[in-house]
């Protein structure tokens, strides 16, 4: 799907599709609509009409011009001035708009004839436009008991804190020397216990949750095998799920999206996947992809992408284990991959693995024939990351031991 202008795209079938979104200030809800038309003019007109219908506001240009039958309104005026507030449009801005028009003088005069009556009435329009205010947060009255409790807590807060401080100091100075031996033994037993846990890191406490997001790009063909990136990555996701579950992880695989894979639908799918990962308390988010260079016989190897600093160590561990199979191209911080940006918002360590280049024969054959090895290497990388987190959490206990 190719972008023609803001909010309008051309589909693979040669039709035109508009996308409209509107946020209601009073409730905070976001409304989204889309429609498909045979001609660009019809699509432009329908887009602004739908926007005017959703917003119901009276202070925007599109609210007053969306019902016009003049094609110049949709081809020149609204794409430039549609979202402009009537209050903010000065004569100098309007002059700049006229200068930027690359059309005949006759058409410019026609546009002036449309805008001048609106500009002359704008003060009256703005005066009659009601202000939209956000819904107020309801005030919750405190009970008398709660007020008294807070007052008593404020009085005793400082004396209690001082008493705890002095008690801690006295305990520290009066501790018997024999306690050093018991402390050394407790640290030793904790170290032994931690080492046992590190042999199988996910068995320590609740199982770790891994969210797998396979590529949904079913139009990216492989150089061999009559297959696509989407087909192979969903196969790899299922192999990886079995191996992670055997290692003690809880695993969720994102569902396949069967609709048209355009820019709008892609963003909706990625938002849904990131929210689903956060909702299920995911500890790790792993997106599975394969790469393409356009230079079929040149590039090979694994690339791992991340966005936030909290994901960098996960990217390093997976880059080392997965890249050891077919060549490690390193890790890359990328702030533009939407899927990783969303997980940064939810504070989930997230990476995108490009396990090889599918548009060259050797890379495509490697991916198809080594699903098990690739899955094993991802499990190992995840284990290494969890181990490092466990050591960081428990501290370096060996440094506390005295022999």
Where is pLDDT greater, at 65 or 287? 287
Which residues face 395 on adjacent strands? none
Where is pLDDT greater, at 58 or 148? 148
The two beta strands, 302-306 and 328-333, are parallel
| Residue recorded with tokens 């569902």 | 255
Give the pLDDT score at 250. 93
Average pLDDT, rounded, for the chain: 76
Comparing C-alpha atoms, which of 289, 200, 278, 281 is closest to residue 237? 289
Where is pLDDT greater, at 167 or 200? 167
Q: Over the stretch 110-140, which tens digit does the pLDDT of each residue have?
A: 777 777 776 766 666 655 555 544 444 455 5
One-character DSSP codes across 263-325? HHHHHHHHHHHHHHHHHTT-SEEEEEEEE--S-TTT--SEEEEE-SGGGHHHHHHHHHHHHHH
| Residue recorded with tokens 């990216």 | 220
Give the pLDDT score at 394. 61
What is the Cα–Cα distance from 87 to 101, expressed in whole angstroms?
Answer: 22
Indicate left, alpha or beta for 56 from its phi (over 0: left) and psi (-120 to 50: alpha): left
Q: Over the stretch 92-112, which tens digit does the pLDDT of each residue have?
A: 666 676 666 667 777 777 777
Looking at the predicted structure, is the pLDDT value of residue 210 above 90?
A: yes
Give the pLDDT score at 397. 43
Give yes or no for a contact between 125 and 86, defined as CB atoms under 8 angstroms apart: yes
- Six-digit token string for 364: 């495509």
Helix runs in 128-212, H state only: 144-174, 179-199
Q: Over the stretch 266-302, which tens digit does the pLDDT of each residue have?
A: 888 999 999 999 989 999 999 999 998 876 567 889 9
Report how far Cα 112 is from the mean position of its chain's Cα atoms.
44
Looking at the predicted structure, is the pLDDT value of residue 324 above 70?
A: yes
Count of H-run helices and E-run strands, the chain: 14, 10
Least confident of 19-28, 272-281, 350-359, 369-378: 19-28
Query: Residue 5: helix, strand or coil by DSSP?
Result: strand
Is the Cα torsion angle 158, 159, 160, 163 positive or negative in sign?
A: positive
Give the pLDDT score at 395. 56
Where is pLDDT greater, at 206 or 50? 50
Report how far Cα 249 is from the mean position of its chain's Cα atoms.
23
Looking at the predicted structure, is the pLDDT value of residue 201 above 60?
A: no
Give the pLDDT score at 194. 45
What is the Cα–Cα distance from 357 to 367, expressed in whole angstroms?
Answer: 9
Give the pLDDT score at 177. 47
| Residue recorded with tokens 């640290």 | 187
pTM of the model: 0.50
Report the percent of the chain where pLDDT is more than 90. Answer: 28
Average pLDDT for 167-191 = 53
The two beta strands, 30-37 and 284-291, are unpaired
Q: Which CATH superfamily is domain 205-392 in?
A: Zn-dependent exopeptidases (3.40.630.40)
Q: 284 Cβ partners below 8 Å, 6+ apart?
A: 208, 209, 210, 211, 314, 348, 349, 350, 382, 385
Phi, psi of 308 (to 5 degrees): -100, 160
Confidence of residue 402 (pLDDT cuts 50, 70, 90): very low
Give yes or no for a contact between 55 and 21, defined as CB atoms under 8 angstroms apart: no
Is the Cα torsion angle 388, 392, 396, 397 positive or negative in sign?
A: negative
């Amino acid at each position: 799907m190719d972008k023609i202008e803001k909010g309008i795209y051309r589909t693979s079938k040669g039709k035109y599709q508009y996308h409209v979104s509107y946020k209601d200030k009073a409730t905070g809800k976001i409304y989204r609509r889309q429609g498909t038309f045979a001609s660009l003019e019809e699509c432009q007109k329908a887009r602004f009409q739908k926007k005017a219908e959703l917003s119901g506001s009276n202070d925007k240009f599109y609210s007053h011009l969306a019902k016009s039958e003049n094609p110049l309104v949709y081809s020149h005026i609204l794409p430039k001035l549609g979202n402009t507030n009537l209050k903010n449009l000065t004569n100098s801005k309007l002059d700049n708009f006229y200068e930027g028009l690359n059309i005949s003088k006759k058409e410019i005069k026609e546009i002036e004839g449309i805008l001048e009556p609106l500009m002359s009435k704008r003060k009256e329009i703005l005066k009659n436009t009601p202000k939209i205010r956000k819904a107020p947060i309801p005030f919750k009255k405190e009970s008398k008991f709660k007020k008294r409790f807070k007052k008593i807590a404020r009085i005793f807060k400082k004396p209690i804190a001082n008493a705890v401080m002095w008690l801690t100091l006295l305990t520290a100075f009066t501790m018997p020397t024999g306690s050093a031996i018991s402390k050394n033994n407790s640290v030793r037993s904790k170290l032994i216990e931690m080492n046992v846990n590190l042999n199988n890191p996910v068995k320590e406490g609740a199982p770790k949750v891994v969210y797998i997001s396979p590529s949904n790009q079913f139009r990216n063909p492989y150089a061999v095998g009559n297959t696509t990136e989407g087909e192979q990555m969903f196969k790899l996701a299922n192999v990886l799920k079995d191996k992670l579950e055997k290692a003690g992880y809880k695993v969720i695989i994102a569902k396949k999206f069967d609709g048209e894979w355009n820019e709008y639908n892609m963003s909706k799918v990625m938002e849904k996947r990131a929210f689903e990962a956060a909702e299920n308390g995911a500890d790790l988010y792993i997106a599975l992809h394969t790469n393409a260079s356009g230079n079929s016989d040149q590039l090979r190897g694994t690339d791992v992408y991340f966005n936030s600093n909290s994901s960098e160590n996960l990217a390093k561990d997976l880059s080392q284990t997965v890249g050891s199979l077919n060549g490690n191209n390193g890790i890359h911080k990328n702030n533009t991959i939407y899927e990783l940006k969303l997980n940064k918002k939810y504070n989930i360590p997230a990476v995108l693995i490009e396990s090889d280049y599918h548009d060259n024969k050797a890379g495509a054959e490697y991916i198809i024939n080594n699903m098990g090895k690739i899955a094993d290497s991802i499990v190992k990388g995840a284990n290494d990351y969890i181990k490092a987190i466990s050591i960081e959490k428990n501290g370096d206990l060996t440094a506390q031991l005295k022999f």
